[in-house]
Amino acid sequence: MIIGEQKPLEEIKELIGDARKVLVAGCGTCVAVCSAGGEREAQILASALRLAFQVDGNSREVTEATVQRQCEWEYIDPLAEQVAESDVVVSLACGIGVQTLVERFPEAWIVPGLNTTFLGMPQEQGIWVERCQACGQCILGVTAGICPIARCSKQLLNGPCGGSHDGKCEVNPDIECAWHLIYERLRKLGKLELMLRFQPAKDWSVSRDGGPRRIVREDLRVLPET
């Protein structure tokens, strides 16, 4: 899922500027699961903003609403009236949700309340870790299901570098060496021959190097009216 982290209150206040009517829009999917932008966090932020503006001696009307998913038209349509009545919308969705709101409500001023951080998973309650970089060409099939693009600091494709020490990365001892993990897992599963398979240079044109990406599925598209 998409992991995010709420921006500092001061930064959110700056983004709100002089707006009098503020709508905090939560998202009930990824950012709710990572406790950054769901219904609870939207309520906390709305309350914190009301208090902060009162302390500043400049009370504002701050309301909040949460939809199940901010990245799909049909889920955000019910927000139309509240968005229209607001001077600014603070979206607590990931960057995708913010932009979906912007595209659906072009007249509204929408600002982000989160920093969208990475694609990952909750390793345990309260700890989230990165697992994917959406590189567009998955190689998990030859790396024992452990991604060296997302989890190796250097994104190496053919084994560890000299900075791998006792299974840890030289960048930070808290980072596990992805290639050490790959080697150990291949060894346990009796598939070490995969370590010897040469990985040619990666085609980064299917990743961000190729510009913004787009997928078109003609079999799923709604046909234009004739």
Rule CB under 8 A: which residues touch other proteins? 8-10, 40, 43-44, 47-48, 50-52, 54-57, 59
The closest of 150, 153, 157, 155 to 165, measured between CA atoms, is 153
Whichever of 125 and 172 has its CB closer to other proteins, that residue is: 125
Neighbours of 214 (CB within 10 A): 5
Q: How far is the CB of 40 from other proteins (least distance, A)?
A: 7
**Least distance between other proteins and beta carbon 157 (Å):** 40
What is the β-pairing status of strands 2-6 and 110-112? unpaired
Tell me how far, at minimum, the Cβ of 19 lies from other proteins, in Å.
18
Residue 119, Cα to own-chain centre: how many angstroms? 6
Q: Which is nearer to other proteins, 51 or 171 (CB)?
A: 51
| Residue 41 vs 108, nearer CB to other proteins | 41
Q: Which is nearer to other proteins, 13 or 151 (CB)?
A: 13
Query: How far apart are CB 54 and other proteins at their closest, in Å?
Result: 5
Least spacing, CB of residue 120 vs other proteins, in Å: 21
CA distance from start to end of the chain = 39
Residue 146's CB is within 10 A of a number of other CB atoms, namely 20
Handedness of CA 151, 154, 156, 161 (dihedral sign): negative
If the CB atoms of residues 55 and 220 are measured against other proteins, the closer one turns out to be 55
Could you tell me if 146 and 181 are in contact, meaning their C-beta atoms sit under 8 angstroms apart?
Answer: yes
Q: Cβ 135 to other proteins, closest distance in Å?
A: 35
Nearer to other proteins, 56 or 103 (CB): 56
- The radius of gyration of the chain from alpha carbons, rounded to an integer in Å, stands at 22
**How far apart (Å, rounded) are the C-alpha atoms in residues 179 and 185?**
10
**Are residues 108 and 89 in contact, defined by beta-carbon separation less than 8 angstroms?**
yes
d(CA 14, CA 49): 11
CB of 93 vs other proteins, minimal distance in Å: 20
In the complex with other proteins, the residue whose CB is nearer, 50 or 185, is 50
CA distances to 72, 112, 153 from 93, in Å: 12, 8, 27
Tallying the residues shown for the chain, one arrives at 226
